[in-house]
Amino acid sequence: MQGGKEIHFGTDGWRAIIGDTYTFKNLRILAQAVADYIGRDKKIAVGYDTRFMSKDFARVVAEIFRNNGLKVFLSDRPVPTPTLSFAVKTRKLDLGIMITASHNPPQYNGFKIKTPSGGAASPEITRAVEALLYKNPVKEETAAGGELIETDMIKDYVRFIRNYVDLKKIKTKKFKVLVDSMYGSGDSYIAKILEGSKIQLEFMHNTVNPSFGGIGPEPVEKNLEELKARVKKEKFDLGIALDGDADRIAAVAPTGVFIHPQKILGLLALHLNEDRKWSGGIVKTIAGSTMMDKIAEYLKIKLYETPVGFKYISDLMDHEIGRA
């Protein structure tokens, strides 16, 4: 289909049903448009989640980039989306691509673009990429200067988080924590982060299952009944749930009560301001809880509000807060 009608970026990337419009052909067309957007001799990272054929889709995308004279860093395993973002930022790359449909049902897959700062691509960027669809033939042969390198993106990411977390304060704590990876790319990486501590971690759904056990990989309460029941019955101190590409989180209290992500965000805002002494503002979307308004007022810091979508938050952080 010409004119890019089968490929359109939404709230956070392009998502479509595998075998319908999410095909190798369309991925090659989209990868070519992205390559045309950034130009030759640039560096780009490609990551992927645990969905059906994500690894194969990622390699096809990476090969088209290589064929366009780009230096491509392809993850050697499924990774969380924040890991891909971290690699783009810390390795000073020009762009990042994540093959994932996040929390969507199993029949979907997707394509997220990350900017050099690690944030989601702005509407201006995605519109520019869409405008380049079908403009040039897909390059099937490797161009001079093109290179494809498989790389471990997890090691540096885990090291960064271990350096951020005050492990000395929790090293001797004997908390009992149950983590529901929801068959996603979050896997059991939390164990690597907490290695050396006495925290007792148990994992559920941390294997690869492209059907996600018949439950969408979205950490909303209706999908976490098993986690809630186990936390209460087996007397865990905390339950944690991650979505399909591990960029969303929810939690469960010892009593089996679901802790909404909005409450977690509120706790994080208080922690960063009061414990870490960060002085920046708070960004929320129009779908966010008014609790964030009250926390911002309590902390006497600025509150920013954006439309729904990481791309709007990322753009604000890059262009507004960065100048504050």
90-110 pLDDT, tens digit each? 999 999 999 999 999 999 999
Residue 288 confidence (pLDDT)? 82
Say if residue 3's pLDDT is above 60.
Answer: no
| Architecture per CATH, 271-323 | 3-Layer(aba) Sandwich (3.40)
What is the percent of the chain where pLDDT is above 90?
82
Distance of CA 130 to the CA centre of its chain: 22
Residue 91 confidence (pLDDT)? 98
Say if residue 4's pLDDT is above 50.
Answer: no
The residue type found at 165 is: V
In CATH, what number does 165-259 get? 3.40.120.10
Residue 254 confidence (pLDDT)? 98
Label residue 116 exposed, middle or buried (CB < 10 Å: 0-12, 13-18, 19+): middle
In this chain, the answer to whether the domains covering 165-259 and 271-323 adopt an identical fold is yes
Superfamily for the 2-156 domain: Alpha-D-Glucose-1,6-Bisphosphate, subunit A, domain 3 (3.40.120.10)
192-226 pLDDT, tens digit each? 999 999 999 999 999 999 999 999 899 999 999 99
Label residue 9 exposed, middle or buried (CB < 10 Å: 0-12, 13-18, 19+): buried
User: Region 78-98: what's the mean pLDDT?
Assistant: 98
263-317 pLDDT, tens digit each? 999 999 999 999 999 888 899 888 888 999 999 999 999 999 998 877 888 888 8
d(CA 222, CA 237): 21
Domain ranges of the chain: 2-156, 165-259, 271-323
pLDDT-derived band at 321 (thresholds 50, 70, 90) equals low
